[in-house]
Amino acid sequence: MSNTEEKYRLFEEKNKIAELGGGQDRIDKQHAAGRKTARERIDLLFDPGTFVELDKFVTHRATDFDLEKTKFLGDGVVSGYGKIDGRLMYVFAQDFTVFGGSLSRANADKIIKVMDLAMKMGAPVIGLNDSGGARIQEGVESLAGYADIFYRNVMSSGVIPQISAILGPCAGGAVYSPAITDFIMMVKESSYMFVTGPDVIKTVTHEEVTKEELGGAMTHNSKSGVAHLTADDDEQAMMMIRELMSFLPSNNLEDPPFKMSSDDVNREDKKLNDLIPDDPNKPYDMKELILSVIDDKHFFEIMPFFAQNMIIGFARLGGKPVGIVANQPAMLAGVLDIDASTKAARFVRFCDAFNIPLITLEDVPGFLPGTAQEFGGIIKHGAKLLYAFAEATVPKITLITRKAYGGAYDVMSSKHIGADLNFAYPSAEIAVMGSAGAVNIIHRTKLGDQTFIDSAIEDYKNNFASPYKAAQMGYIDEIIYPKDTRKKLIQALEMTQNKSKTNPAKKHGNIPL
C-alpha cells in the first residue's frame, strides 16, 4: 500500500469513527428509546445529499477528572449546513450518544461557528437539541459556552429565523437558547424542558411531579405556552420544520418564498354567506373561514393547543405567505385574555420582523373579566398585542366578521393603529359594547319600561352596532359579501405589496413585558 493510499485509509477510518458518535451500543439505546440519532435527524431534515458537515474531528480539550482519556470525534454535536427545498440552512444537532449530548467548550465553539456563518450569509439556523445540559467536568467553561450561544441568539433575533427542536432532555441553562429562538418544536413523550428538574423541586418545595408532567411536550404546548409545535416522533418533527421553513424568508431583508398554486384567486365560497349565525351569542368555527379563503386549504397553525380563543398561523393567499391572527368564537366566545394576547403579540412581531403580511380576522366581544385576569396583569399583557400591531410596518389587512367591541376593537389591528385596509361583513357589530348592555346604561332611568327598552335595543343595533357608522367615518374601507372574502384579501395584498413605512428612529421601544 502506497503512502497516499495509507493516508486515505486512515481518513476513511476516522470518518467512520466520527460517524459512530458514542458507539453502536449507545446508538441502539437511543433507538430503543424511540429517538433517532443526530445524523439520522439531519438526513431527514435536509434535501438528500445536501448536508455538509463542519468540525467533524473536533474533540474536547478538558483534562480534569481524567477526561483526556475519553475523547470522541465530534464531541457530542454534529454541525454544518444543507438545503431545505433548495434553500441554504444551518444546523447543529446534539448527539446524546456522546457524554449525553452535554455541552463542552469545544462543541459550544462548533455551534458558535455555524451561528456566526448563518448571520454572515443571511440564512436560518435550526438547532436539534438533545442534551443533558452543561458538561459538569468542564465547569465554568461549559457555562461560558452557553452564554456565548445565548448572546448570538439575541443578536440573530429578527435578522435570521431561528428554530429549536427539543428531541430529548433539555434542562437548566440549556433551555434558554431555545427560549430566545422564534419557534420551539417538541416531541410527545420523548422530549422535555425545565429549568429545575423533579428531584430539585421535591427537595426545595416538596412537590411530587414527573418529568412528563413538569416539562413534557403537551405541558409546554398547552399549559405554559413555551413551545409552539408538537410532533409524534422525530421524523414528523423534521417534516414539520421543513414545512414551517417553506413560509419563511431566509433573513429580514428578503420576502417570504412565493409558491405557485392552481387555486383560483377569484374563487367564491357561497357557504361563507351563512357561516356567521344571526344570534350574536351563538359560536361558529373561525377555522372554517380561514380554510375557505386560503390557498389549497393549507393552514400551518402555530400553538394550536394554547389559548385556543386565539388562532395564529401561516398560510398562502395567491401564492404569497401571510400570517393569520384570528379570534376563535368557538372558544370562550373569542375573548381576549392574558394568554391569547401574548400568543398573538409574539407572532405579530415575528411576522413583522420577517416581512410577512398580517391578516387579522376579528370577532371579539372584549377582554375577559375577572380577578384572575386583572391580578395577572391583563392591562399589561393586552397592551403587548396593541403594541405589536401598532409597531408592525408590514401590510396589515383586517376583516371584522361579527363583534368588535370596546378596547378589543382598537387592539385587533384597527384602522387607528395602522391597518392599511379594514373590511367588514354586513353582520359586523362595531360598538363600545353589546346593544343590550349599552341601552341598559344609556336608558337606566327607563329600565322598568320593557317596550321602550326593546325598541331602544333594536334602534342601537341598527344605528350603532353595525358596520355602517364606522364606514361613514372611514374607519372601515369596504363592506364586503362573505363569499368574496378570498378575492378581496388577495386584492388587498396586491395593493399593499410595495408598502414602505418606517417608524421613528430609536434604539428600540419599551414593550410592556
Check if the beta carbon of residue 44 is closer than 8 Å to that of residue 239.
Answer: yes
| Superfamily classification of domain 3-245 | 2-enoyl-CoA Hydratase; Chain A, domain 1 (3.90.226.10)
Characterize the bridge pairing of strands 358-364 and 320-327.
parallel
311 contacts 287 by C-beta, under 8 angstroms: yes
| Residues 235, 84: Cα–Cα separation, whole Å | 15
- pLDDT top residue among 61 and 194: 194
Mean pLDDT of 228-245: 97
Q: Determine phi and psi for 126, rounding to 5 degrees.
A: -115, 120
Alpha carbons 228 and 216: distance in angstroms, whole number: 13
Lowest-confidence pick of 279-283, 403-407, 413-417, 444-448: 444-448
Position 138 scores a pLDDT of 66
Q: What are the C-alpha distances in Å from 65 to residues 23, 76, 131, 440?
A: 22, 18, 20, 77
Distance (Å, whole) CA 288 – CA 294: 10
- pLDDT attached to residue 44: 97
Residue 69 pLDDT: 66
Which residue bears the cell 417538541? 186
The residues that bridge with 192 in the sheet, in sequence order, are: 169, 216
Q: What is the pLDDT of residues 102-137, one digit of tens each?
A: 888 889 999 999 999 999 999 999 999 998 777 767
The reported pLDDT for the residue numbered 445 is 75
Question: Which residue did the predictor score with more confidence, 143 or 356?
Answer: 356
Nine-digit cell string for 46: 435536509
Question: Is residue 286's pLDDT more than 80?
Answer: yes
Domain ranges of the chain: 3-245, 270-428+467-496, 435-465
CA 494 to chain CA centroid, Å, is 25
Q: What is the pLDDT of residue 421?
A: 97
Who's near 192: CB < 8 A, 6+ residues apart?
Answer: 166, 169, 170, 171, 186, 211, 212, 214, 215, 216, 217
pLDDT at 62 over 70: no
Q: Which sequence positions are flagged as catalytic? A: 172-173, 407-408
pLDDT at residue 229 is higher than 80: yes
Alpha carbon distance 37, 57 (integer Å): 18
Query: Rounded distance, CA 234 to CA 42, Å?
Result: 10
Q: Which pLDDT score is estimated for 504?
A: 94
Summarised one tens digit per residue, pLDDT across range 305-320 is: 999 999 999 999 999 9
The mean per-residue pLDDT over the stretch 435-461 comes to 80
Q: Does 68 score more than 90 pLDDT?
A: no
Q: Which of the four CATH numbers 3.40.50.300, 3.30.1330.20, 1.10.10.10, 3.90.226.10 does domain 270-428+467-496 have?
A: 3.90.226.10
DSSP letter for each residue of 108-162:
HHHHHHHHHHHHHHT--EEEEE---SB-GGGTHHHHHHHHHHHHHHHHHTTTS-E
Please name which of 130, 133, 110 lies closest in space to residue 56, comparing C-alpha atoms.
110
Closest CA to 460 of 444, 474, 439: 439
Residue 420: all three cell numbers together: 392599511
Say what the pLDDT of residue 443 is: 80
Decide the pairing of beta strands 87-94 and 162-166. unpaired
Distance separating alpha carbons of residues 203 and 456, to the nearest angstrom: 63
Query: What pLDDT is attached to residue 3?
Result: 86
Q: Are 476 and 415 in contact (CB under 8 A)?
A: yes
Q: No. of H helices and E strands in the chain?
A: 19, 17
Place of cell 480539550: 61
Spatial distance between the Cα atoms of 245 and 321, rounded to a whole number of angstroms = 11
pLDDT computed for residue 272 by the predictor: 95
Percent of the chain scored above 90 by pLDDT? 66
Furthest C-alpha separation in the chain = 108
Least confident of 4-13, 59-68, 89-98, 110-119: 59-68
